[in-house]
Amino acid sequence: MTRLTYREAVRGALRQILASDPRAFLLGEDVGKYGGAYAVSKGLLAELGPAKVRDTPLCESTFVGAGIGAAIGGARPIVEVMTVNFSLLALDQIVNNAATLRHMSGGQVAVPLVVRMATGAGRQLAAQHSHSLENWYAHVPGVKVVAPATPQDARDLLLAAYADPNPVFVFEHVLSYPLEGEVDETSGAAPLGRAIVRRAGTQLTIVAWGGSLPKALAAAEALAAEGVDAAVIDLRTLRPLDLEAIGASVRATRRLLVVDEGWKTGSLAGEIVAQVVETVFFDLDAPPARVCSREVPIPYAAHLEAAALPSVERIVAAGRGVVRG
């Protein structure tokens, strides 16, 4: 085991992929000489060369489209989009091409593409660069969506995304990059579509993912001090959802709270609640609850940004309400 930051774990997975597969290359804005907007690819250009690490013009529709075309042609590109809001400029390529070509070709055309992007708020990047749009991508059939929360998963889920024959979108929360954790650098790819129980509990199920997981775990500890025993499930994969794991936990605890940094309207949290109500309604002892970002563009001012986002305090209050009414 090696103690690594989330950033270093992603870099290690990229290095392993790029060095071991002649078909693999990384492309995106500033991934080469600059080392990536969040320093994830720092040093890889000097180490592996310009054929493996390719800087692109500032045009997401072009370089995401180039990644799709390269994947169709037999290469294995990993595309880095600087932040999730910039990916909106490539939605036509993503939704109308990457997601549909296998289906529309009757299985003759595959798009084995990985797209990585930073997501979430907390760095005072204001309304332009603080989006959490994972649920937009999780809405689309034909793609898979992962949101690693730990350094180990940052490594293992990227390896899994690369091994998958379908387009996979990897969302890396901006606050996760400096997080440290023990990483087994010899482990294989983590299975896609499998959630994991990060904390066992008997009275409440808290579902979280990505940057919301540390807040959910902290809230569970605070609730424990109040006598509320909460389980915490890390989804890891947002499409496909591990509804079996969520349902099993809810059947045991009989209560559900979902933490989602996205806005509540049209949120992934809402989809999870709906799936639980549809499948295990009669096991519930209380209405499910959600803690989401406030329905406002994310503010620049630090105190307003913090007020807009899910907080440990809001999660604790919601959990207390679900359990005690």
Distance CA 295, CA 301 (A): 16
- For 237, the token pair is 């994969």
Question: Among residues 268, 236, 232, which one has the least CA distance to residue 253?
Answer: 232
Q: How far is CA 297 from CA 15, 126, 130, 134, in A?
A: 36, 8, 9, 16
Torsion 269-211-2-14 (CA) sign: positive
Q: How far is CA 50 from CA 13, 53, 64, 162, 207, in A?
A: 18, 5, 18, 20, 41
What contacts 55, CB < 8 A, 6 or more positions away? 27, 28, 29, 30, 31, 32, 33, 34
Separation between Cα atoms, residue 241 and residue 246, nearest integer Å: 9
What span, in angstroms and rounded, lies between the C-alpha atoms of 58 and 110?
26
Active-site option among 29, 60, 80, 261 = 60
Take residue 239 and report the two structure tokens written for it.
């499409």
Based on the residue annotation, tell me whether 60 is a catalytic residue of this protein: yes
Give the contacts of 271 (CB within 8 A, at least 6 positions apart).
135, 138, 241
Closest CA to 278 of 250, 253, 257: 250
Catalytic-labelled residue, pool 8, 29, 80, 129: 129
| E-state strands within 49-148 | 53-55, 76-83, 114-119, 144-146
129 has catalytic annotation: yes
Catalytic positions are 60, 129
